[in-house]
């Protein structure tokens, strides 16, 4: 069965999208079959991986965007998967094994004008469609915005695990705290819609520190995060094996440049001259391996 993981924090701009895209790519490079969902109206992951031309077509027509599965009769999840999404200039497949379900700006309508059937909330419809295809994947990853509104709810409801990207600062800690509160409320609200096959609702399994500047000591914010995690664990509000990941991702210019190039970092480094062992590409590889190992403890 696929491991289904949401990356989410109530703090924006901490690196959720850059972590999930680069980790998804690292997992695919290691031979895993990976499906990435973009659940953020901003469409950052979609624009990044599809590049602007391909994404513009989806955005202007709405065809192929995730919102179309919530418009009855319009589309089925299985039909809007962009297989082996990363392409070169000639349309050649650069990273087989990494698929994307893209979003467009119309996803905002899911939070606004969408009414749906209260007996079949969006997250339940999404879960049912996901069940049809999840057997094709080892990892299904959900890039969420910094909230648990309807789009995020789809990811969270279907997930088995939640990872919290964080920066070493007070606002990330507040974002994590708020997330755990909101998660608890959502799980209560959605409890009656869960099927027995789903297992228990997803809990936070890990905190991932991102954008760590060389020479900056992060022991104090890390200790504060650890204390909060310990409190939540004692109260059984996060996973019993939840932890701060050993791997942290350094701050590196190439992470921002990769977005402009429309490539995950693992592919940029391959083309470039920087093959140093001690580089951000290895951070992502290590993180992918740590996520694989964490799965064995669930
Ligand atoms: N390790 C890193 N090194 C350098 N820059 C980074 C790193 N990680 C993220 N960034 C940059 O920080 C900015 C925010 O990152 P990102 O968009 O991934 O955050 P986010 O949490 O997804 O934001 P949002 O809440 O808007 O969805 C981006 O410009 C990104 O390129
Ligand atoms: Mg994002």
Q: Where are the domains of the chain?
A: 3-295
258 CA → ligand 1 middle, Å: 11
CB 43 within 8 A of CB 104: yes
Ion ligand 2: residues, CB within 5 A, are 16-17, 44
Please work out whether the CB of residue 211 comes within 6 Å of at least one atom of ligand 1: yes
CB 123 within 8 A of CB 153: yes
Give the other-Cβ count within 10 Å of 241's Cβ.
12
List beta partners, residue 266: none
**pLDDT for position 295:** 84
**pLDDT for position 32:** 98
**pLDDT for position 105:** 97
CB 221 within 8 A of CB 257: no
Within the chain, which residues score under 50 in pLDDT? 273
List beta partners, residue 163: 7, 206
CATH annotation of 3-295: 3.40.50.300
d(CA 287, CA 178): 25
Please work out whether the CB of residue 166 comes within 6 Å of at least one atom of ligand 1: no
Please work out whether the CB of residue 57 comes within 6 Å of at least one atom of ligand 1: no
38 CA → ligand 2 middle, Å: 9
234 CA → ligand 2 middle, Å: 30
- Closest-lying ligand 1 atom to the alpha carbon of residue 21: 18
Give the other-Cβ count within 10 Å of 162's Cβ.
26
Q: Specify the DSSP element, H or E, that contains 189.
A: helix 170-190
d(CA 202, CA 102): 23
Give the other-Cβ count within 10 Å of 184's Cβ.
14
Using CA positions, which residue lies closest to atom 25 of ligand 1?
12
What pLDDT digit, counting tens, does each position of 135-152 carry?
999 999 999 999 999 999
Tokens of 94: 């650069």
This prediction has a pTM of: 0.96
**pLDDT for position 73:** 74
- Three-class DSSP category at 64: coil
Identify which ligand lies nearest to the alpha carbon of 14.
1
d(CA 238, CA 229): 8
Pocket test for ligand 1, best of 11, 18, 214 (most atoms within 8 A of CB): 18
Using CA positions, which residue lies closest to atom 19 of ligand 1?
15
In sign, the C-alpha dihedral spanning 166, 171, 173, 175 is negative
CB 86 within 8 A of CB 94: yes
Please work out whether the CB of residue 249 comes within 6 Å of at least one atom of ligand 1: yes
17 CA → ligand 2 middle, Å: 4
Which residues, 6 or more positions from 40, have their beta carbon under 8 angstroms from its beta carbon? 17, 103, 107, 143, 144, 145, 151
- Closest-lying ligand 1 atom to the alpha carbon of residue 251: 3
Please work out whether the CB of residue 15 comes within 6 Å of at least one atom of ligand 1: yes
């Amino acid at each position: 069965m696929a491991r289904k993981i949401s990356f989410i924090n109530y703090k924006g701009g901490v690196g959720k999208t850059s972590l999930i895209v680069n980790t998804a790519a690292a997992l695919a490079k290691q031979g895993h079959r990976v499906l990435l969902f973009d659940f953020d109206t901003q469409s950052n992951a979609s624009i990044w991986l599809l590049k602007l031309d391909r994404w513009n077509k989806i955005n202007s027509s709405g065809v192929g965007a995730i919102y179309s599965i919530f418009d009855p009769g319009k589309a089925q999840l299985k039909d809007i998967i962009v297989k082996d999404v990363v392409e070169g200039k000639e349309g050649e497949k650069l990273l087989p094994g990494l698929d994307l379900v893209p979003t467009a700006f119309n996803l905002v309508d899911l939070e606004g004008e969408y009414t749906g059937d209260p007996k079949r909330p969006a997250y339940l419809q999404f879960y049912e469609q996901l069940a049809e295809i999840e057997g094709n994947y080892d990892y299904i990853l959900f890039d969420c915005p910094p909230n648990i509104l309807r789009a995020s709810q789809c990811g969270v409801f279907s997930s088995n695990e939640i990872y919290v990207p964080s920066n070493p600062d007070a606002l990330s800690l507040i974002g994590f705290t708020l997330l755990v509160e909101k998660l608890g409320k959502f799980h209560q609200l959605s409890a009656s819609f869960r099927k027995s096959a789903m297992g228990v609702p997803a809990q936070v399994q890990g905190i991932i520190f991102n954008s760590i500047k060389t020479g900056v000591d992060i022991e104090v914010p890390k200790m504060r995060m650890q204390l909060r995690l310990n409190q939540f664990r004692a109260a059984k509000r996060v996973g019993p094996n939840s932890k701060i990941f050993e791997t942290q991702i350094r701050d590196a210019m190439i992470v921002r440049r990769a977005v402009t190039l429309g490539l995950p970092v693992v592919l940029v480094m391959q083309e470039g001259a920087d093959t140093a062992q001690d580089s951000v590409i290895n951070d992502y590889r290590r993180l992918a391996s740590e996520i694989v190992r964490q799965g064995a403890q669930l």
